[in-house]
Structure 1
Amino acid sequence: MSEVPGSEQRVIQGRYRLLSPLGRGGMGEVWRARDEVLGREVAVKEVRAPAGLDSTDEQRMYARLEREAWAAARISHRNVVTVYDVATHEGRPWIVMELVRGLSLSEVLEADGPLTPQRAAHIGAEVLAALRAAHAAGVLHRDVKPANVLLANDGRVVLTDFGIAMVAGTSTLTMTGEVIGSPEFLSPEQALGRTPGPASDLWSLGVLLYAAVEGSSPFRQSTPLSTLRAVVDEELPPPRRAGALAPVISGLLRKDPAGRLSPQDAERQLRAVGAGAPA
C-alpha cells in the first residue's frame, strides 16, 4: 500500500511514523507505521472515543483501553497479536502491535464466501489456542468475530484487537449503557448484562464458526436490540453446511455457560475436524 501524502510528518510520541491506513472500525483506525527507534514496521491502532461522550467518560474509556492493552501485551502466543507498546499522543492511547501481513477472516468470507468445515475447524482451533493462552493470563477477549481474526501470509491464524478485553480481577471502567462487543457475537450472559467469563469467549467462537461455514451469524436481526433478544431467547438455527463441525458448533452455542464444551474438548474436536476426521 502506498504511503499517504503528508503522513510522513505525523509521528506518534516522537517514534512511530504513520505511513498508510490499514483499516477502520468503530473504535478508531489502524495504521501501518515505522518504528524509527528499532527500524521496523509495526501496526498502530489510533483509538478514538465515540462522539457524544463527555470529557470524564472519554478519559475513563481511554484509561480502560490503555490498561487492557497492557494486559494483552503480557500474552505471549503465536496465535495472539503481539502488543509492543502503548503510546500516549494528544491525550489518547495509541496501541503499537506487530504488523501481521494478510487478510482478516471477514475479508476472506466476503471475497470467497463460506469456508469448508475442515478449513473453518482449523481456523477455529487456532483461535481457541489463542483464547486459552489469554484466559490463562487472566484476560478475556470479549469481541471474538471474523474481523478480529487475521489470516497471515505466513500461514498463522492471529487473534487481534484485545482493545475491549476485560482483565479478570480488575475494576470495570465501562460507562452506563455501553455495549461491549458486537451484538450478534455476544453470549447470552453478556446480552443480559451479567459478568462474562471464559465460556463467553467460547460462545463467540461458536458464532464465528457458524458464520464461517453458513455465511451469516445465527442470531443476526435488523437491530442491535432485536439481535440481543434473539441471542437470549431464540433457538439455534440448525446449520446446513457444517458437516462434521456441527457438534462442535452446537456444543459451544449452549445458552447456559456451564453446559458449553470445555476448551480442551472443543480444541480436540476442532483439531480432529481440521485434520479431516469426524468430530
Structure 2
Amino acid sequence: TNRGRVYHLKAYEIAEASRTAKGTAIINLLQLEKDEKITAVIQVKGFNPDAYLFMATKKGIVKKTSLVEFKNLHKGGLNAINLDDDDELIGVKFTDGERDMILGTKWGMAIVFGEDDVRSMGRAARGVKGISLNDGDEVIGMDTLSPNAEVLTVTAEGYGKRTETSEYRAQNRGGKGLINLKVTEKTGDVIGLRVVHPDQELMLITTEGIVIRTNISDISVISRNTQGVKLMSTSENDIVASMAVMDQKN
C-alpha cells in the first residue's frame, strides 16, 4: 500500500464480476487503515529465496527485499518498508535480483540502474536513494527493463509515446537521470511509465471514469526528449488518472 504495508489475499477470495460491475470495496477484503490505498498488486505462487520484491517511493527511495521475508503474513498486514513521514510507496515489482530498473518522474525525468546496485534489506529498512529529484518533482512509475521492449510514458492531458530502451543508458543509482518526456502545459504532468511490448494493449482511465483501450503497437515510437502524441482526448475538467497494460489475450 501507499503506507508501505503488505497484505496477502487468495485470488478466489475476490468475487468475479463483469466489466461494468462496481466491484467489492477493498476494505471488506483487507484490514486497511484510514486513507491507506493499494499501490501495487503482485501475483506470487511461492516464496523462492532467490526472488525479490523491489520497491520505489515517490521521494525516490528504492529497496529490495527477499520474497521469503513475506512468507508469514497475517490478515493485519506487515511493514514492507520504513517510510519517511512525507513519503509514499508508489510501486513494487517482482524480480530475480539481476534486472535493470527504470524510475520515471512526473516532470519527465527517468533513470536506469542495475538492480544489483541495491543490496537486499530486511522489511524494517528504509531503503536507499534511487534518483535525485528536483524540488517539487516526484517518482510516478517504476518498472523492470526487458529485451525487445519499449518505455511507454503517458501524461495527464492524454499525451504519450513509446521510446526504445536503448535510449536509456544505465547510470549509477541516485543520479538525476535523463529527460524522458518533454513536459509542457499542453501535456500536463507524467502520470505513468511502463515497459511494454508491441503485442500488448493499453487502458487509460480518467478521473471522471472514462476508459479507452488501444493497441500498444498503434502508439508512436519516438525519442526521449519529445512531448509525445495525443492518445486520448479529455474534457475541460477531466484528466487521465491511471493507466494499465495488459496482454491482448485479456
TM-score over 0.5 (shorter chain): no
Looking at both structures, which has the greater relative contact order when contacts are Cα pairs under 8 Å and sequence separation is at least 6?
Answer: 2
**Which structure features the higher share of strand residues?**
2
Taking structure 1 as the reference length, what is the TM-score of the superposition?
0.29
Instruction: Pick the structure with greater CA Rg.
Output: 1
Q: Tell me which protein shows more helix as a share of its residues.
A: 1
